[in-house]
Structure formats: structure tokens, C-alpha cells
Amino acid sequence: MPKAIYEGIYRDLKGKIQEGTYSYQELLPTENELTQTYNCSRNTLRRAISMLADDAYVQPMHGRGVRVIWQREQRVPQGSLDGVESFDEYAQRNDVQPTTSVKSFEHVVCGARLAARTGFPEGSDLIRVVRVRALDGVPRQVDHDCFLASAVPGLTPEIASVSVYQYLEGKLNMRILTSRRRITVQLATDEDCSYLKLGPYNCVAVIESQSFNSAGIMFEYTQVRHHPEEFSYNTVSRR
């Protein structure tokens, strides 16, 4: 049971769109009708609709109605990252076996160069981790992580080899709420080549990301270098 009413309505409508109760290019029932079926206020309903619009499931049209724009075939394909899904969640969703190999794990003090690149304040105490992550035994990505040491007490190489996020959420009760990302394409380094079997590719897809916890503290900077094959980043933009 969802905590909030708007979230329950959001999920219900989303499910109904996915299963075809409301299909591509159709109009949803009007707000007045939906407030009656869900027995809620118009504001609450509109919040749910707005979330569906953010997901590119529907598009509200002033004075006309709300059109469904979600297409079944267009569903997020197998090889895709999106939102804040973790490597393990992704593996589980696609029913493949994730493995992680920790290549290095060290405490460092943030210098000027690292500060400029990561956004951490100079002089911060950081934990730097390099990991190679594979799916069904095939190396897919090289992770370069920097954690704010004070924010991840008790982090060990053993934990890093399983799932840092499970540790953060489970033990430390910390959640990623906001994450800024930059996606670029870079020439593969010798390190990339040694860890990933790049085949014909001489480039990797790079996602840099700064993550903020619920206290608004940036506790993680990550640079993930992906094998180009199967790499796909899906997103929605609206204005």
C-alpha cells in the first residue's frame, strides 16, 4: 500500500496504461470523472497526472483532455539505465548474474584537481574505490567511486564487492534523492582495455554523477565507464 493517495492513483493509472485499459493516443477520462472514481480532490488527481506526464506516459492538453503517449513497443529496452537504478537492480530486472571485483580501495584527502573534478570541498576525507562489474561473467563497466568518508562510516572492500547501496540504505538508512549526471564518450584508456573486452570499439560511454543524500549532502561522486555495447541511457525531457 503506497503511503500517499496521489502515489496510489499514479501507480494505478500507470498500470492501466501499460495493460491497455487506456491505450496509445486515447484520452483519459476527464479530471472530474477521475476524481469521482478515485474519490479524491482535483489537486490530488492532478498531481498523479503530472507525474505520468513527467514519465512521458501522457500529455495533458489545455481544454482538450489528457492523451496517452506511452507505446508498448517503446518500453525501456533490455540494455538500459534510467533514473537512479543501481547495477544490482538492473541485473535483477534483466535476470542476469551481477558480480563485482574490487580493484582498489583507499583513503585519500581531496586535492585541488580532484575537488575541481568531483565537486567535493578541497581537504575532504574521501574513500576511493575502483571496481569492475560484470553481468553473467562478462565485464560491462569500470566504476571509479569517491565517497565522503564521514558519510559512509564502516565501508569496507568486502561491502564494496557486494553492494554499496544496500549498505547505505539498509545499514546507514541513507538514500540518494538527487543525482546530477553528465554523459560523455571518451577514448578508452589502457585500464579500460585491460578490464573490458572492447572488441572493435576504441571508446567507452562515461557517466559521471554527483549524488546527494536526504540531508542535501553530496556524499558520492562516481565515474562509470561503460562498454559501448548494450549501453543505453533513456530519459525524458519536457518543457
Contact 239, 59 (CB under 8 A): no
44 contributes a contact to DNA by CB under 7 A: yes
Site for DNA in 88-127 (CB under 7 A): none
61 contributes a contact to DNA by CB under 7 A: yes
* Contact pick of 11, 42, 175, 197 for DNA (by CB under 7 A): 42
State the number of binding residues for DNA (CB under 7 A). Answer: 27
CB of 236 to a second copy, least distance (A): 6
32 contributes a contact to DNA by CB under 7 A: yes
Among the listed residues 131, 80, 79, 140, the one whose alpha carbon sits nearest the alpha carbon of residue 105 = 131
Rounded to 5°, the CA angle 94-90-180 comes to 150
Site for DNA in 198-217 (CB under 7 A): 214
CB of 69 or CB of 149, closer to a second copy: 69
The contact set with a second copy (CB under 8 A) reads: 25, 53, 56, 58-59, 61, 64, 67-69, 71, 73-74, 80, 82-84, 116, 119, 176-187, 200-205, 210, 212, 214-216, 218, 226, 228, 231-239
The CA distance from 185 to 203, in Å, is 7
Which residues make beta-bridge pairs with 99? 134
- Grid cell 584537481 is found at 113
- The helix/strand/coil state of 21 is coil
* Contact pick of 56, 60, 161, 203 for DNA (by CB under 7 A): 60
Task: Write 160-166 long-range contacts (CB < 8 A, 24+).
Answer: 160/100, 160/102, 160/105, 160/129, 160/131, 161/100, 161/101, 161/102, 161/131, 162/100, 163/86, 163/87, 163/88, 163/100, 165/86, 165/88, 166/88
CB of 16 or CB of 181, closer to a second copy: 181
* Contact pick of 17, 51, 66, 205 for DNA (by CB under 7 A): 66
CB of 14 or CB of 181, closer to a second copy: 181
Q: Is the dihedral angle over the CA atoms 101, 106, 112, 118 positive or is it negative?
A: positive
CB of 14 or CB of 47, closer to DNA: 47
